[in-house]
Structure 1
Amino acid sequence: MVIVEYIDETFEGPSILPKDPYDRAIARFWIKFFEDKGSAVGTSFFHKSEKAKEEVCEMLKILDNELKDKKFFVGDKFGFADIAANFLGLWMGILEEATGIILVTKEKYPNFYAWRNEYINGNKEYLPSRDELLAFFKARFQAAATPPYSN
């Protein structure tokens, strides 16, 4: 995220960080939140940790509440905090499908679910191929589940 902030401050074009100091602080708060809480996402899928799964569900509850009556994390347009949530917007759905461990449902986290759909649909041209990522992770999880060859 430091590199994204550097690019934002160095190059011409519309800023991804809000101009308002308060909104900028809120964006940085969410970035720190994602950095602090995000490791539980990978742990819940790759290590199938129930404790990590509970941490992710708690995080999703907080995010769902934050996104109530909002389209994006800060303000009314896609920005820095939304970019920081990429691992939730794109990767988490792929890992859910690859493993069969479903953490996000429309019923349980409707606001986050709507944000995730908006994130994916609004950024398709910039995101890696979902089908290729899904095939990669399905193969990876299948290989991890297959016992090694023995004599």
Structure 2
Amino acid sequence: MVIVEYIDETFEGPSILPEDPYDRALACFWVKFLEDQIAAVGKSIFLKGEEQEREKKAACEMLKILENELKDKKFFVDDKFGLADIAANVLAIWLGVFEEASGVALVTSENFPTLYAWRNEYCIQNKEYLPSREELLVHFQPRFPPKAK
């Protein structure tokens, strides 16, 4: 994210950080929150058994916070796509790929409807900039044991 901020400050074009100081601080807060908390989501997918269940609970608590933040909003901060949304890329593309590859579903339309809708919209709106979901699945599927039938 430091590199993304550097690019934003160095090159011409619309900024990904809001001009308003409060909104700018809010964007930086969400970036830090995501950087600090996303490990719980990863653990919940890659662990097994009781450890996985414990980490899934921690991940869901973090996801609840994000769900509440996005209620009635299209983006994390301000009324346009910005730095916090870029930081949340890990939830948009990567989490969905890991969920599908592992069979561990965290963000569904039932338990986190707002976050689920945000994730889908993010992937649609940024499709040309994101790696191919199919190629990512082919790459990561072998890292998970086959699902029990």
Question: TM-score normalised by the shorter chain: which range applies?
Answer: over 0.9
CA RMSD of the aligned region, Å?
Answer: 1.3
Q: Aligned to 1:63, which of 66, 73, 82?
A: 66
Aligned residue identity for 2:123:
I
Match of 1:73 in 2: 76
Q: Aligned to 1:52, which of 26, 46, 55?
A: 55
TM-score of the superposed pair, with normalisation by structure 1:
0.91
What percent identity do the matched residue pairs reach?
A: 69
* Equivalent-residue separation in structure 2 for 1:54 and 1:10 (angstroms): 40
Aligned residue identity for 1:100:
G
Identify unmatched segments of 5+ residues in structure 1. 146-151
* Equivalent-residue separation in structure 1 for 2:111 and 2:142 (angstroms): 29
Q: Aligned to 2:143, which of 131, 140, 143?
A: 140
Match of 1:126 in 2: 129
User: C-alpha deviations, 1:34-91, integer Å up to 9, x for none?
Assistant: 0110111111111232222111100111111111100010011111000001110110
Match of 1:149 in 2: none
* Equivalent-residue separation in structure 1 for 2:42 and 2:61 (angstroms): 15
**Segments ≥4 residues shifted beyond 6 Å:** none
Aligned residue identity for 1:136:
H
Match of 1:14 in 2: 14
**Shift in Å, 1:9:** 0.4
What's the secondary structure of 2:128's corresponding residue?
A: coil
